[in-house]
């Protein structure tokens, strides 16, 4: 059924102006501490075509997004964190960051109207999309099912059995490279599920080689550039670096989305470590339990917050043996420090 003229008028009034390449608001994000100076040189501005795929006749933009939403009589749902990308150049850059090639299997989360999906398929990838909104799932299914390079699951990514779906696809689809380490994640995800998605995907280094996410800018900075002895340094930073090597890529201005959020976004690449390269701990479960216990009482010294594991004296001795003060607090310990401490005080 065609949307009513009133509905179309509503969208046209709500959407921001159409963008031109010359006016895109991309920028480097300066490092948050002196140790990140080298990383600053690696960041790049997402506005050119160097290293990106050639333009295709059907690039999604302002008008394509409007038409797709109207075709289903839909408006973005705040409860699902739906903010649709209006700028095809951002999608090109996301795919470029992940180095997507012919035969790659790519997991996309929340494809929406399919603007990023379109770029991924044009890059030669087979896309497994997970979309919670049944209307958007139907839309992308109709749009891409004929390509032979697309499958959509109408599921909540946080509850989805990703590993099982990936294994099934690799075993049944000839177009997919059989080396599952070629599988990648490329997604513009709802900001409110960022932490849940990261906790779900980063430990899958046996399946995925890289996870490229478009996140809220503040979240991206906290994940990539945390400083010791600051409130921003949290257990999630230990988790991220345990399983991956994160890198801040570029900022995406809020004006590139519909509806426009109150914050800018940023693209982060997580290069996943294979299991053989994880820090050597006797148990990852007990390791992260220890880290969370330490941070649950940040104002306390570790010798007090970890007394449920062993005595204060044993903790003091362990801290001193790895070159730390016996009065150390959790925000003063690096990932390597926590690993060494765990292996010294945990009795399996």
Helix (H, G, I), strand (E, B) or coil at 221: helix
pLDDT of residue 241: 97
Alpha-carbon span 18 to 97, nearest angstrom: 24
Residue 52 class from Cβ within 10 Å (0-12 exposed, 13-18 middle, 19+ buried)?
middle
Q: Binding site for S-adenosyl-L-methionine: which residues?
A: 83, 85, 110, 131, 156, 188
pTM attached to this predicted model: 0.80
Q: Binding site: which residues?
A: 83, 85, 110, 131, 156, 188
Give residue for tokens 């059995």: 161
What domains sit in the chain, N to C, each tagged with a CATH number? 60-277 (3.40.50.150), 284-345 (1.10.8.100)
Digit-by-digit pLDDT tens for the chain (348 residues) are 444 444 333 333 344 443 434 334 444 454 444 444 443 333 333 333 334 443 344 676 656 666 666 666 665 565 555 677 888 899 999 999 999 999 899 999 999 889 999 999 999 999 999 999 998 899 999 999 999 999 999 999 999 999 999 988 887 777 676 665 579 999 999 888 999 999 999 999 999 999 999 999 999 999 998 788 788 899 999 999 999 999 999 999 999 987 788 899 999 999 999 999 999 999 999 999 999 999 997 678 999 999 999 999 999 999 999 999 999 999 999 999 999 999 999 876
- Using the CB atoms, write b or e for 173-195: b if 16+ within 10 Å: eeebbeebebbbbbbbbbbebbe
Distances (CA, A) of 253 to 54, 85, 214, 331: 23, 11, 11, 31
pLDDT of residue 300: 85
Residue 331 in tokens: 């925000």
Q: How many helices (H) and strands (E) are present in the chain, helices listed first?
A: 14, 9
């Amino acid at each position: 059924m065609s949307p009513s003229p009133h509905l179309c008028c509503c969208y046209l009034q709500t959407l921001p102006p159409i963008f031109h390449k010359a006016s895109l608001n991309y920028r480097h994000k300066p490092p948050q501490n002196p140790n990140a100076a080298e990383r600053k040189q690696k960041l790049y501005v997402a506005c050119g075509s160097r290293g990106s795929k050639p333009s295709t006749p059907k690039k999604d933009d302002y008008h394509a997004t409007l038409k797709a939403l109207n075709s289903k009589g839909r408006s973005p749902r705040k409860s699902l964190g739906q903010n649709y990308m209006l700028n095809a150049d951002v999608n090109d850059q996301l795919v470029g960051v992940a180095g997507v090639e012919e035969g790659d299997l790519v997991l996309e989360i929340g494809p929406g109207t399919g603007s990023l999906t379109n770029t991924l398929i044009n890059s030669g990838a087979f896309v497994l999309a997970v979309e919670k909104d049944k209307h958007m799932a139907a839309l992308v299914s109709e749009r891409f099912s004929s390509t032979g390079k697309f499958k959509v699951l109408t599921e909540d990514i946080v509850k989805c059995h990703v590993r099982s779906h990936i294994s099934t696809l690799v075993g049944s689809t000839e177009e997919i490279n059989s080396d599952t380490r070629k599988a990648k994640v490329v997604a513009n995800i709802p900001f409110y599920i960022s932490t849940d998605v990261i906790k779900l995907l980063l430990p899958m280094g046996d399946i995925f080689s890289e996870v490229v996410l478009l996140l809220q800018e503040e979240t991206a900075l906290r994940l990539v550039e945390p400083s010791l002895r600051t409130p921003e340094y949290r257990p999630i930073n230990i988790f991220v670096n345990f399983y991956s090597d994160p890198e801040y890529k570029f900022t995406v201005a809020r004006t590139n989305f519909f509806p426009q959020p109150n914050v800018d976004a940023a693209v982060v690449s997580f290069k996943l470590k294979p299991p053989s390269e994880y820090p050597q701990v006797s148990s990852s479960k007990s390791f992260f339990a220890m880290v969370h216990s330490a941070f649950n009482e940040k104002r306390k010294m570790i010798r007090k917050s970890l007394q449920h594991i062993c005595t204060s004296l044993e903790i003091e001795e362990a801290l001193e043996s790895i070159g730390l003060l016996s009065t150390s607090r959790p925000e003063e310990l690096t990932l390597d420090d926590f690993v060494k401490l765990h292996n010294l005080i945990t009795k399996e």
